[in-house]
Amino acid sequence: MIRVQTLTKQYGRKTAVDGIDFTIAPGTVTGFLGPNGAGKSTTMRMIMGLDRPTSGTATVNGRAYRDLTAPLHEVGALLDARAAHRGRSAYKHLLALAATHRIPTARVHEVIGLAGLESVAHKRVGGFSLGMGQRLGIAAALLGDPQTVILDEPVNGLDPEGILWIRALLRQLAAESRTVMLSSHLMSEMTQTADHLIVIGRGAILADGPMHEVISGATRTVVRVRTRDVNGLSAAVLFSDVAADAPVEVVVSSAADGAVEIEGLTAEQVAGAAAAAGVVLFELTTREGSLEEAYLSLTADAAEYRAMTAAVKGAAR
């Protein structure tokens, strides 16, 4: 359980994290999303006791990180894949870490095996690829068999096999009712791994909820229809009984490719209305928003560093 309350971090006059609140429950993989510079890493560093909050608190299992009895057994974190001395072997790096909590050498070998590092364990970290560095960081995070796991961009640099591995690993950790906090810029990866989302932008929480709620709250679900009789369809749909009973206003718009998009009704309702009016349809699909669309729409105004504003906004539509 991670709890963050009115957490604020200021660097000089710049506010990196602005009074955010959230709770991450055990048994879920919680995705932590946001543009570069949104405050993700700063938040994670404050949870791990590395940065001191300007105000507010961050606790793990009800206690500030510095007050944990045996921190490696309670929280394991990967914040930076390069966080090992280049001149030391992966094995010795883990061994020195294990020594702080008297974690047996057998466990060091176990996490090396778990991370698939057996063949390079005695090689210097300096020669590692980014993917191998990530595996070493994950091995270090799991060393104490912690209840809470915090991973900042763990899939960067991993090969497809590694990405599959980490996805399965995180799902398994959540199934063991551990708390998993995961940040990533890879939306497809997040979609497949996380079941809860926290979106942060410019130091503030933009969305916090189950994955499907965040997506449906930030994107349109439309029914795409093709017909030769666009006017007939519009009339049939807009003045139908189902439209009158619909909880939200029904909107009909034409897409760039000539299709018609109807918002506010299900495919079944659209098909029913068209059939009743005798309008012939030759395509009927429900198009749900993706996490990527939801993310871009949520963070459209919060992106700190943006290359092509118009292009990004266009993609968010």
- Hey, what's the torsion of the CAs at 88, 94, 100, 106, to 10 degrees? -130
Residue 117 makes contact with other proteins by CB under 8 A: no
- State the nearest-atom distance from the C-beta of 186 to other proteins, in Å: 22
Decide whether 140 or 236 has the Cβ nearer to other proteins: 140
Residue 95 makes contact with other proteins by CB under 8 A: yes
Residue 54 makes contact with other proteins by CB under 8 A: no
- State the nearest-atom distance from the C-beta of 93 to other proteins, in Å: 7
Residue 10 makes contact with other proteins by CB under 8 A: no
Residue 73 makes contact with other proteins by CB under 8 A: yes
- State the nearest-atom distance from the C-beta of 88 to other proteins, in Å: 5
Decide whether 110 or 145 has the Cβ nearer to other proteins: 145
Residue 286 makes contact with other proteins by CB under 8 A: no
226, 275 contact by CB (below 8 A)? no
Considering only 21, 36, 55, 96, the residue that binds other proteins (CB under 8 A) is 96
Which residues in this chain contact other proteins in the complex, by CB under 8 A? 1, 25-27, 45, 48-52, 61-62, 65-66, 68-75, 77, 79-80, 82-89, 92-93, 95-97, 99-102, 140, 144-147, 176-178
